Every structure is written in structure tokens, then in C-alpha cells.
Structure 1
Amino acid sequence: MEIEKPPTEARYERPDGDRRGLVLVHTGDGKGKSTAAFGLALRAHGRGKAVKIYQFMKVPSARFGEHRVFEQLGVPIEGLGDGFSWKSRDLEHSAQLARDGWARAEATIRAGEHFLVVLDEITYPLRYGWVPLEPVLTALRERPSHVNVVLTGRNAPQELLDLADTVTEMTLVKHHFNAGVPAQRGIED
């Protein structure tokens, strides 16, 4: 490791534009997309802002760590799906759940009652063709100006990346699965 001197001056000029709602995308093959979105949800909630989280691939009865803590904090989190496609017994049913879930999420975004809306793992139903991309892009463009939306999942469509204000690509450098270490409660769920 090379030691650096800490900066003594700001590395950027402060933007002077108006504050407005943002579209943020967390994508890529690395771990941390949902975790980063949940961190933003906690930050917004901590500032007294209304937050709503939709999880497109989780079942409504899911009880992962994030569900437990968000319930304790009073942050609504909803599973809209029936698990990942390889676990589905009926892909058309999975597709219908995704479409119904999108209708709920779109209504929340357009209503403007939430400062932050998280659309966790939405890229999967988009990529599978279960939810058409254009209505999602339209809702993001037409949302109330104060509403922030975070979308997560691998392989985010280019059109979504182009529309977004901030895109973070999580890059896989090393993962414990490759060393034979299974998922662990509190880390993956």
C-alpha cells in the first residue's frame, strides 16, 4: 500500500443547481446493490422522510434481516414476487406478480407521498419481459419532482442507465461463494 497525504483543499466545486428527486441505479455483478439501497432508505428514514421499499423477487411472507429491522423502524417493505425464477413453479404466475407489483410501485411513485421509493431487484422482471420497460421509464420521467427512486439488480437496461441521475456498478472482485462458503444469515439475508 502506498501512503497518501490527506487532501487539504476540496476536490470539487459545490454544485449550485436546485435540489430535486433523483433516479439512482445500483447494478453490476458484485454484492451490495440491495444493501446500498437499504442504506439510503435508512438514511432517509433517519431524516424523517417517508420511505417505501418494494422487493420484486421476494415473497410477501419473507422474513429476512432487512424485513425485521424495517418493520421495527416502521418502514414499509413489501415482497411482490414468488422468489427467483429457478424456484418458481409457474413462470406465468411469477410474471403476473411482477406486473401487479409494478402497478403498486408505480402508483406509489406517482402519488408523491414518499421521499424515497426503492424498487429492489426490478431489473430481473424487466429483463425477463415480465414488466415492460417503457412504462417504468415513463413513470420515472413523470414522477413528482421531489420523489427519489432507487432501482437495483444485475444487468440494468441501458435505457434505464441513460435516464438515471446516478448509476453505481458493483464490481465483483472476490466472493466467498467461490471459496465454498455458503450464504450466511445477516450477510446475504
Structure 2
Amino acid sequence: MQIESPPVERDRQKPEGERRGLILVHTGDGKGKSTAAFGLALRAHGRGKPVKIYQFMKVPSARFGEHRMFEQLGVPIEGLGDGFSWKSKDLEHSAQLAREGWARAEATIRAGAHFLVVLDEIMYPLRYGWVALEPVLAALRERPAHVHVVLTGRNAPQELVDLADTVTEMRPVKHHYQAGVPAQRGIED
């Protein structure tokens, strides 16, 4: 590792534009997409801002670590699905749940009562064709100006990348699965 001197002067101009709601996309094959979105949710909640989290692939009865913590904090988190497609016993039912879930999420976005709306793992129902892309893009374009929306999942469609204000692509550099270490509660849940 090479040691470097810390900067002593600001090397960039401070933006002077108007503050507004942002569209943020966390995508890519690496770990951390949902975790980053949950971090933003905690940050907003910590500032007293109303937050709503929708998880498109988790079941409504899910009790992962994030559910337990958000419930303790009073941050609403809602599972909209029936698990990942390879666990589904009826893919048409999974698709119907995704469409119904999108209708709830869209209503929340358009209502404007929340500072931040998280659409966790929405890329899966988009890619599977369970939720049409154009209505999602329309809701994002037409949302109230103060509403921030975070969308997560692998392989974000280019149209969504183009519309977003900030896109972060997580890429794996090294992953414990490759060394044969299984998922662990508190890290992957």
C-alpha cells in the first residue's frame, strides 16, 4: 500500500443546484445493494424523515435481521413476494404478487407522504416481466419533487439507469462463497 497525504484543500466545487428528490439505483453482481439501501433508510429515519421499504422477493412474514431492526425502529418494511423464483411453487402467483406489490409501492411513491421509498430487489420482477418497466419509469418521472426512491437488484435495465440520478454498480472482487463458506445470519440476511 502506498501512503498518501490527506487533502488540505477542497478539490471540487460545491453544487449550487436546487435540492430535490433523487432516484438512486444499486445494481451489479456484488454484495451490498440492499445493505446500501437500508443504510440510506436508516440515515433518513435518523433525521426524522418518513421512510417506507418494500421488498419484492421477500415473503410478508419474513423475519430477517433487517425486519427485526426496522420494526424496533418503527420503519415500515413490507415483503411483497413469495421468495426467489427457484423456491416458488407457482410462478404465476409470484408474478401476481409482484404486480400487486408494485401497485402498493406506486401508490406510496405518488402520494408523497414519504421522504424515501426503497424498492428492494425490484429488478427481478422487472427482468422476469412480472412488472412492466414503463409504469415504473412513469411513476418515477411523475413522483412528487421531494420524494427519493432507491431501487435495488442485479441487471438494472438501461432505461432505469438513464433516468436515475445516481447509479452504483456493486461488483465482486472476492466473495466468501468462492472459498466454500456458506451464508451467515447477520451478514447475508
TM-score range, shorter chain: over 0.9
Q: Is residue 2:67 matched to residue 1:67?
A: yes
Q: Secondary structure at the match of 1:101?
A: helix
Match of 2:18 in 1: 18
Superposed CA deviations along residues 22-63 of structure 1, whole A, max 9, x for unmatched, are: 000000000000000000000000000000000000000000
Give the 5 Å matches for 1:93-104.
93-104=93-104
- Give how far 1:178 is off: 0.8
In 2, Cα distance between equivalents of 1:169 and 1:12: 23
In 2, Cα distance between equivalents of 1:173 and 1:166: 22
Q: Percent identity among equivalent residues? A: 86
Match of 1:5 in 2: 5
In 2, Cα distance between equivalents of 1:181 and 1:10: 42
In 2, Cα distance between equivalents of 1:10 and 1:46: 28
* Residue ranges of structure 1 left out of the alignment (5+ in a row): none
Q: Secondary structure at the match of 1:145?
A: coil
Q: Secondary structure at the match of 1:118?
A: strand
- What code does the residue aligned with 1:157 have? P
C-alpha RMSD of matched pairs (Å): 0.3
Q: Secondary structure at the match of 2:100?
A: helix
Q: Secondary structure at the match of 1:114?
A: coil
- Give how far 1:11 is off: 2.1
Match of 2:80 in 1: 80
- What code does the residue aligned with 2:134 have? E
Match of 2:180 in 1: 180
The number of equivalent residue pairs is 189
Match of 1:146 in 2: 146
Superposed CA deviations along residues 111-141 of structure 1, whole A, max 9, x for unmatched, are: 0000000000000000000000000000000
Q: Is residue 2:164 matched to residue 1:159?
A: no
Q: Is residue 2:67 matched to residue 1:57?
A: no
- TM-score scaled to structure 1, two decimals? 1.00
- Give how far 1:12 is off: 1.1
Q: Secondary structure at the match of 2:38?
A: helix
Which consecutive aligned stretches of 4+ in structure 1 deviate over 4 angstroms post-superposition? none
Q: Is residue 2:127 matched to residue 1:114?
A: no
